[in-house]
């Protein structure tokens, strides 16, 4: 039976790896998802057969409670709230590892009293790592949720938090070392103290990081939740959990590094007080003063006329496209332009929207052909040969200040060079700033026009106007 169970976990692990491989390109992503889902099904069945792990009654109760909560959450969550949901699920994953390891610790005490368990160094290290990383992930993720929701603002006490973090880390090192080296089964108070310390550490690690850096933090916490899971796997002696936890840990850290690169930041810079950390954005009056009398407003009718004569059009989607749910209208307009003989592409910035791959997911929903989705480095040289670049609810990812203004909170973040297009048409509801809270010089450039309104409505009006031409 044990061989069968381990074989099952191995098959599941191979399917997870094939799943991740499939998800590296949009074309194979659906198949990748199916591989991963089948892997998870096998892992669940194998865990159920592994009767030593837990009794069936608890499994059924767990599935019913977890399935109901998960189902309701998944049904209710708006596409724009996905990053918060991902962050919250990371936190819950970390919390689960913390509880599993803590329960195993208490159970091991009972077994040791009966002479059925002798703690080893491996066991002590796995228990303490699972508890500690799990606790940090739990509170860190919920602070990230608060920041993404805008309920927790950027802190101006960065230095204080950094000191607390250092103090916590030193105490932890000493406490965890003592736990592993001395008598781990009679250290209840120490373990409880370390858990509290790590819960505080999770809060203090994330609090000083600026809201604009949250995507990187969420992806790092995702990696932590994987590591905590892998450690819990060692505690339980469950190979399936060790493999999946390691996969999540490794892929989370790879995604973190890709995102840091996309924002031109180092991980240390993000975590320990980079320039974004202290930004609070500009006030409304400063924002209004920046644009006063300098924006050239246009209309859907004028946009239709401009597009009618265009040979090459690039759509630049951003967070506003998701808010407006304008992906289908975008595709419809693109179809009309193509029928008119124009070449159409979509410029994808790695951190456009509010989660990695946000724009790809939205545009895939509208069945935009994958080969028209062009990544930043490839599309940037093409803007100078583009007749019209239509910026749909994007702001920070097209802000030239990122490359020009060293004092800008987004300085160093690579952007889409839409300003090089012959004409730039910006579609957004007004002059509100984007996520980083700063004005955008693109909107007042000579070659820029703004059509104000909800992106979907403006696109629909443009489609009607094009039909009437």
| Closer residue to ligand NAP (CB): 197 or 271 | 271
| Closer residue to ligand NAP (CB): 204 or 324 | 324
Query: In 313-454, which residue ranges form alpha helices assigned H by DSSP?
Result: 319-324, 327-339, 358-365, 376-379, 401-404
CB of 110 to ligand NAP, least distance (A): 45
Q: Which residue is nearest to ligand NAP (CB)?
A: 434
Which distant-in-sequence residues (6+ apart) come within 8 Å of 293 by Cβ?
A: none
Identify which of 282, 216, 291, 289 has the alpha carbon closest to the alpha carbon of residue 254.
Answer: 216
| Closer residue to ligand NAP (CB): 312 or 358 | 358
The strand order across the sheet containing 373-375 reads 373-375, 343-348, 312-317, 388-392, 423-428, 448-452
CB of 431 to ligand NAP, least distance (A): 6
Query: How far, in Å, CA of 149 to CA of 262, rounded?
Result: 23
The number of beta carbons lying within 10 Å of the beta carbon of residue 29 is 18
CB of 320 to ligand NAP, least distance (A): 2
Which residue numbers are catalytic?
Answer: 396
Identify which of 260, 275, 144, 131 has the alpha carbon closest to the alpha carbon of residue 197.
Answer: 131
CB of 276 to ligand NAP, least distance (A): 9
Which distant-in-sequence residues (6+ apart) come within 8 Å of 412 by Cβ?
A: 263, 264, 265, 402
Residues within the interface to ligand NAP (CB under 6 A): 83, 212, 214-215, 318-320, 323-324, 351-356, 358, 393-397, 427-430, 432-436, 454-455
Identify which of 191, 194, 184 has the alpha carbon closest to the alpha carbon of residue 108.
Answer: 184
Which letter does DSSP use for residue 423 in this model?
Answer: E
CB of 352 to ligand NAP, least distance (A): 4
| Closer residue to ligand NAP (CB): 44 or 282 | 282
| Closer residue to ligand NAP (CB): 17 or 364 | 364
Query: How far, in Å, CA of 336 to CA of 308, rounded?
Result: 10
């Amino acid at each position: 039976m044990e061989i069968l169970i381990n074989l099952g976990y191995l098959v599941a692990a191979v399917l997870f790896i094939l799943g991740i491989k499939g998800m590296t390109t949009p074309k194979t992503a659906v198949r990748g998802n199916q591989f991963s889902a089948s892997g998870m099904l096998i892992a669940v069945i194998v865990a159920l057969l592994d009767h030593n792990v837990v009794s069936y009654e608890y499994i059924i109760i767990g599935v019913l409670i977890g399935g109901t909560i998960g189902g309701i959450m998944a049904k209710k969550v708006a596409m724009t709230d996905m990053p918060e949901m991902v962050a919250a699920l990371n936190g819950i994953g970390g919390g689960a590892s913390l509880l599993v390891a803590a329960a195993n610790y208490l159970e091991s005490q009972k077994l040791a009293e009966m002479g059925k368990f002798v703690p080893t160094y491996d066991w002590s290290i796995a228990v303490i790592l699972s508890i500690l990383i799990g606790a940090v992930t739990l509170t860190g993720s919920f602070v990230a949720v608060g920041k993404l929701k805008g309920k927790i603002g950027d802190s101006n006490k960065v230095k204080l938090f950094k000191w607390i973090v250092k103090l916590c880390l030193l105490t932890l090192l000493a406490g965890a070392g003592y736990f592993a080296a001395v008598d781990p089964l009679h250290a209840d108070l120490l373990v409880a103290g370390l858990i509290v310390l790590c819960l505080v550490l999770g809060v203090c690690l994330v609090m000083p990081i600026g809201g604009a850096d949250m995507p990187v933090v969420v992806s790092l916490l995702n990696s932590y939740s994987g590591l905590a899971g892998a450690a819990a796997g060692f505690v339980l002696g469950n190979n399936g959990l060790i493999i999946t936890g390691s996969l999540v840990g490794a892929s989370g850290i790879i995604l973190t590094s890709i995102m840091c690169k996309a924002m031109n930041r180092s991980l240390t810079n993000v975590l320990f007080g980079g320039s974004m950390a202290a930004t609070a954005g500009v006030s409304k009056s400063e924002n209004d003063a920046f644009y006063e009398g300098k924006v050239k407003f246009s209309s859907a009718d004028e946009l239709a006329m401009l597009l009618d004569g265009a040979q090459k059009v690039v759509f630049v989607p951003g967070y506003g496209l998701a808010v407006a749910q304008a992906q289908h209208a975008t595709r419809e307009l693109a179809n009309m332009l193509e029928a008119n003989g124009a070449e159409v592409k979509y410029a994808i910035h790695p951190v456009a929207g509010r989660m990695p791959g946000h724009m790809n997911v939205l545009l895939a929903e509208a069945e935009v052909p994958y080969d028209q989705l062009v990544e930043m480095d490839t599309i940037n040289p093409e803007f100078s040969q583009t007749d019209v670049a239509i910026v749909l609810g994007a702001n920070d990812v097209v802000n030239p200040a990122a490359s020009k203004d060293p004092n800008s909170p987004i300085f160093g973040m690579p952007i889409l060079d839409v300003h090089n297009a012959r004409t730039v048409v910006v579609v957004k509801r007004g002059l509100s700033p984007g996520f980083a809270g700063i004005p955008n010089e693109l909107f007042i450039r000579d070659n820029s026009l703004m059509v104000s309104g909800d992106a979907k409505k403006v696109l629909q009006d443009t489609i009607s106007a094009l039909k009437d031409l």
